[in-house]
Structure 1
Amino acid sequence: MTPGERPRTLRRIAPALGLFLLSPLVAEYLLGNVPSSEIWGLVILAPMYGGGAIIIREVARRAGRGWPTIILLGCAYGVLEAALIDQTLFNPAPLFEGDVSRDSTLIPALGFSAVNAVGFTAGHAIWSIGVPIALAEILVPRRATTPWLGVPGLIVTCVVFVLGSLVLFGGIHDDSGFMASPPQRAGAAAVVALLVVAAFLVGRRSRPVRGGRSRKPWLVGVAAFVASAAFVARPEDWWGTAAGIALIAVMAVVISRWSRGDGWGAAHRLALAGGALLTQACIGFLLLLLHGTATAANLIGQVILVLGALALFLVARRTVRGTSGAGGTAEVG
């Protein structure tokens, strides 16, 4: 590769590199699940989180698919991580001291908590996959729905994802000594496969834009924040499980209808991502307190992360405003 080709290559893959880091930063650090003092953990987390997000985005866009496919693949990723890689879904150990979420909705025959199953699956689909991909695509409007990597780059990403997942799996297993049973792992693998199949069955036919103007972006953002905040704040019992499923179903229908309105575009997708991002920023401080990691250094680091998320949102908002025809057409398939 000549010196002149290197900058062109870097520019071409820059969105993928950004997504590689953005996914774990939003999913774990902004959430407060991993404190900023352990920022070195990106070396371990990025191959699995970022690699997974890139693979999902590239596969969906190469297949000409839109957000329904991306979100369902995100659900598959959520089950893969929580049930097969870190196996948190099946591990009887509490997530943190005093956590009783598993016991409150435990399904003994299956060995996992219903509230955790809903939370892990939807949480990864939204914050590990959906929000980072939406932000990354909005920042490169001309390439928002086109592949960012060639076939060799995608193969390398798959290798990095597998190796990163194996490293994380090995480290967690060595620390906890826990291993899900063969039937649990087989059942989880079957669910992952079903979600992947479903991801490519939905949206096979493009739906026409319905009449009427789309909702204002600020209203979409408020709805996203309220719904995502209600989702994470729901009770960790059977009522909370039912409420979480109902919220997901209602928002799926609402967003599907809104996205087919005349004028739906990047500004609305940014509003959805921004509302969910704000929820993540708010609960990050709470999780630091619950995990006992709310030291002065970590709180300062959390403030820096929140400010960074705000800066990224403002840059994306400026990009949307500076792009001609930002409203665009509905992307629903």
Structure 2
Amino acid sequence: MFGLIGHSTSFEAARRKASELGFDHIAEGDLDVWCSAPPQLVETFDVTSPTGTTITGAYIDSCFVPEMLSRFKTARRKVLNAMELAQKKGISITALGGFTSIIFENFNLLQHQHVRSTTLEWERFTTGNTHTAWVISRQVEVNAPLLGIDLSKARVAVVGATGDIGSAVCRWLSQRTGVAELLLVARQQQPLLDLQQELGGGRILTLEEALPEADVVVWVASMPRTLEIDASTLRQPCLMIDGGYPKNLDARVAGSGVHVLKGGIVEFSTDIGWTMMEIAEMEKPQRQMFACFAEAMLLEFEACHTNFSWGRNNITLEKMDFIGAASQRHGFSTLNLPTSVQAAAA
């Protein structure tokens, strides 16, 4: 069995979902009540690959909401408790979705392997970042040409370039796609210099410097709430891949000649009998999901029960090749620009 650990996009969304599921005692509580609420195994479901293999999955809601991010101990406890529940349910491989993965990395939860009487077995968990990085890279490769952008002549800005996903995307675009130039954007200078040396190229720029130059922008960093982007300063056409969470880039910059695509999302070949993706407000919640969640499915389909994506900057091109091939083999496709946009660009 595979597992998915997720959460709602906001406190209000979480309360609505809890009410729908019959957890009225939680739904009616304030944020302090939710801070003490335990994780819930919300549903189980089957998924069948085009190869004929059927696997069973479980969705665990961590009862975490983004409003808890400022509460360090609460955020840490929420993720660890959800992981403990997944392990106690005997789940072989579980993906950490949304903020749970970010919390695990940023709060260094590797130091907290013991949760009450349970010793967490790290090989049972994956961040799903390898599949996410492969999907975002493929979204660039597939969709840029649809807008008339020749990647061999294009400048691609990666915002959050030194993160786990961002650095993997940079490696892929540099070595496999052959983009003309990478524009590297991140907060800390030394990791940028290290990445530039590893890649053997790429220009280090501030966000303000990179945006007007970029034909494609891959956004894999958390977006400050106060950030404002003047769409008139962007190149036209410009493809922007919103790989952050929550995905709200389109509300800020989408306009004539600027095309925003939700990054790191895949669509399965058939409907899945679950309700979990309604929480994430997917356009097709029965088929679409975050690529990190799909990684757990792929590892289960492949009987590869290991922490495939783990730590920071450990994603290799070989791992991306493996998970990408599995993704295509088992019926997943990347989320691409709508046909109306493609027709207009043509």
- With normalisation by structure 1, the TM-score equals 0.24
Q: Which has the higher helix share?
A: 1
Q: Which has the higher strand share?
A: 2
Larger relative CO (CA 8 A, sep 6+): 1 or 2?
A: 1
- With normalisation by structure 2, the TM-score equals 0.23
